[in-house]
Amino acid sequence: MAVTNAAGAAPAIACEDLWMVFGERARRQLDSARSGGGSPARIAGRLHDQGLIPAVRGISFDVKAGELFVVMGLSGSGKSTVIRCLSRLLEPTAGAVRIAGEDIIAAPPRRMVALRRRKMGMVFQHFGLFPHMTVAENVAYPLKVQGQPAAARAARALEVIELVGLAGREGAYPRELSGGQRQRVGIARSLAVDPEIWFLDEPFSALDPLIRRQLQDEFLRLQSGLRKSIVFITHDIAEALKLADRIAIMRDGEIVQIGTPAEIVLHPADDYVAEFARDIPRGKMMTVASIMQPVGAGGEGGGEDCRGPALATAMSLDDALATCAADLSPHRVTDGDGRVVGTMRPDDLVRALGAVAP
């Protein structure tokens, strides 16, 4: 049965009280551990004592349509296990996963195969390209699996190859490409079927920092046009803050905080989250959009009392500070199309930069 929210639209992904326990008779052991009651950590402790590995411990979250949702945490915190449960590459031990309202845990295997082929795109850290196929053949492969005719899949492959900036390299083999180019092929291949849901598990982690930054920028540009519903995994807080609409921070199989990049940096839920956010160069990493008062939400009509030049939503806080330093009155904030979308008060800016106590 489809489950919808108050507005009538189901979230793109809804995950509720999800458990993934590795080991013998995991389901029965989990039931027994839960019957004793207590927090997920206590239940996990009982499972540990039985020699099981409770990798994901009763987590819940929603991903909205078109949202870029980042799951972040240290190595071993359970990130990859979560993403594998969402596509049922792993069978969760307990809990519910719904894709656009459809309960996929109850879906029969054939339906699951169809969902993976038509609705879901996946990109992993190790590109997983076929070495004996050209770029074009690799990218067209999922369309071949779908049974699309040769001409249609060649045309679509070229389209997405162009989208990821590899036009002209469609005849190359993976061994002839750099790491960054190979990952672009992986991204193009996952986009070929035009998935609604996109799972990316540390897609840029194997790349050197410069290429990594470049691919992050390209990824943001792609997403601003595509508006896919995305679950993106990373262990890098800077990457999470740069890309995310919202971030879920995981520790020991649990989610300790879900929030926007600004909420995570400015209002960390505990010391673990604060530790991640501590060394972030806020002025460089955070944008005006993340701390402005939106129009109608304290930003009033957007700029009646404002003087001085408008700030752009995409501007870094450092650049905004340089602009505001000349005029300490509130500033209008405009989006890429020049529309007034909010107000920035210089004291909010200074607070966000950590120069005064909140």
Name which of 170 and 252 has its Cβ closer to ligand ATP. Answer: 252
Q: Give the x-and-dash track for 8-27 against ligand ATP (CB under 6 A).
A: --------------x-----
Report the nearest approach of ligand ATP to the CB of residue 81 (Å).
3
Name which of 170 and 254 has its Cβ closer to ligand ATP. Answer: 254
Under DSSP, the state recorded for 174 is G
Query: Binding residue for ligand ATP (CB under 6 A) from 57, 79, 153, 184?
Result: 79
Report the nearest approach of ligand ATP to the CB of residue 240 (Å).
13
User: How many angstroms separate the Cα of 349 from the Cα of each of 55, 91, 265, 292, 354?
Assistant: 39, 46, 13, 8, 9
| Binding flag, residue 87, ligand ATP (CB under 6 A) | no
Name which of 78 and 259 has its Cβ closer to ligand ATP. Answer: 78
* Gap between the Cα atoms of 266 and 262, Å rounded: 6
| Binding flag, residue 206, ligand ATP (CB under 6 A) | no
Pairing of strands 229-234, 68-73: parallel
Report the nearest approach of ligand ATP to the CB of residue 8 (Å).
34
Name which of 55 and 249 has its Cβ closer to ligand ATP. Answer: 55
DSSP of 238-249: HHHHHH-SEEEE
Query: Binding residue for ligand ATP (CB under 6 A) from 77, 134, 138, 257?
Result: 77
Report the nearest approach of ligand ATP to the CB of residue 70 (Å).
13
Q: Binders of ligand ATP among 27-56, rule CB under 6 A?
A: 53, 55
| Binding flag, residue 343, ligand ATP (CB under 6 A) | no
Among 1, 16, 128, smallest CA distance to 82 is for 16
Single-letter amino acid code for the residue at 185: V
261-266 long-range contacts (CB < 8 A, ≥24 apart) are 261/285, 261/286, 261/290, 262/286, 262/290, 262/291, 262/352, 264/240, 265/241, 266/291, 266/352, 266/358
Name which of 140 and 198 has its Cβ closer to ligand ATP. Answer: 198
* Gap between the Cα atoms of 284 and 213, Å rounded: 14
| Tokens matching residue 223 | 């997403």
- Contact at 8 Å (CB) between 90 and 286? no
* Gap between the Cα atoms of 208 and 180, Å rounded: 9
Query: Binding residue for ligand ATP (CB under 6 A) from 156, 235, 242, 345?
Result: 235
Name which of 22 and 173 has its Cβ closer to ligand ATP. Answer: 22
Q: H/E element holding 340?
A: strand 340-344
Name which of 40 and 299 has its Cβ closer to ligand ATP. Answer: 40
Report the nearest approach of ligand ATP to the CB of residue 44 (Å).
11
| Binding flag, residue 185, ligand ATP (CB under 6 A) | no
Contacts to ligand ATP by CB under 6 A: 22, 53, 55, 73, 75-81, 235
